[in-house]
Amino acid sequence: MLVGALTTLVFASVLQLALALHVRSTLVDCAAEGARYGALADRSPDDAVARARELIDLSLHPRFAEQVTAQRVVVDGLDVVEVELTAPLPLLGLLGPRTLTVDAHALAEAA
């Protein structure tokens, strides 16, 4: 009985970790692709937001794409597009952070 409960707890913890890592890596990829798209010469940061939201909708769920921002910033003297995503972290238990924030940068092409 005790071994079964411990095994169930370990399994649920591993499942939680796998789910959180999957969501995080998918969001990082969507933010990076959105930043690359928005950094093209004929695109704007608004296009980066739209592209990131589209990819999140296809990959996860639209509720993960509610807080997406993009802007042009200067990093070490280079013009880059920065996309930042804040999404809910799916939790099986009650412990852990409630949101997850990721960002990505892409070097902006000259117009």
pLDDT, tens digit (0-9, with 9 covering 90-100), for 7-56: 998 998 898 888 889 999 999 999 999 999 999 999 999 999 999 999 99
CB 83 within 8 A of CB 104: yes
Does 68 have pLDDT greater than 90? Answer: yes
CB 88 within 8 A of CB 23: no
- The pTM score is 0.88
pLDDT given for residue 37 in this prediction: 97
Name the domain count of the chain: 1
Which residues span the domain enclosing 74?
2-107
**Model confidence at 95, in pLDDT bands (50, 70, 90)?**
low
Residue 85 burial (CB count, 10 A): 25
How many whole angstroms separate alpha carbon 71 and alpha carbon 28? 16
